[in-house]
Amino acid sequence: MIFSRIDVSDLQHRLFAELRVLVGLVVVFPSISFGQAPSALADSESFVYRTTSKGELRLYVVKPQRWRSGGTRSAFVTFFGGGWSSGSPSNAMFSARWAAQLGFVSFVPDYRVADRFETTPREAVADARLAVRWIQVHADELGIDPRKLVVAGSSSGGHLALWTAISEGPPGYPPEEAP
């Protein structure tokens, strides 16, 4: 399970508050351009979180000032949009840098899209869930508290953010694909 269970009586209030934040981020930080996934992005570090038959998937990390490993900062994970067919992590770097300025350790995962990997949204969801799980498993070295994650995205990235927050995953997904 990615996130701890929420008390049902508190669910509506918390869900509404979280949705307002996500909708605000989607409106303020839309994807502007599409393209190839870069091997490096300015002001970020990258880690391979999945290797596929068509190449590596990287997770780009933007750290705040005074960052240290073993810390307990909150994490901000943002997924780029592109309608499942295109897009690149560089499209989401503006919001990642903004969140890092606010003190978050920010993450921008690459994920499989149709124009680069000839895949469907199903594979993108599996990648997003694995990326969030990878972040949680490596929390200590990344300087975050694995229980304090904010996930966001624009367009198809917003859909991915939603699926990372649902512990069971999409219907029909085998348990081993769940983070």
| Per-residue model confidence as pLDDT tens digits over 56-66 | 999 999 999 98
Predicted pLDDT of residue 6 = 45
**SS3 category, 79:** strand
- Sorted by where each begins, the domain ranges of the chain are 8-177
- Cβ distance 45 to 58 under 8 Å? no
CATH code at 8-177: 3.40.50.1820
Q: How confident is the model at residue 38 (pLDDT cuts 50, 70, 90)?
A: low
Could you tell me what percent of the chain has a pLDDT over 70? 71
Angle between helix axes 121-137 and 156-165 (nearest 10 degrees) is 50
pLDDT reading at 124 higher than 80: yes
pLDDT in tens, 52-102: 999 999 999 999 998 888 889 999 999 999 999 999 999 999 999 999 999
The phi and psi torsions of 46 (rounded to 5 degrees) equal -135, 150
Lowest-confidence segment of 35-39, 162-166, 168-172 by average pLDDT:
35-39
CA-to-CA distance for 98 and 167, rounded, in angstroms? 28
CA-to-CA distance for 3 and 136, rounded, in angstroms? 10
CA-to-CA distance for 84 and 164, rounded, in angstroms? 16
**Residue that is written with structure tokens 């680069």 in the block:** 116
Question: Would residue 155 be called left, alpha or beta, if left means φ above 0 and alpha means ψ between -120 and 50 degrees?
Answer: left
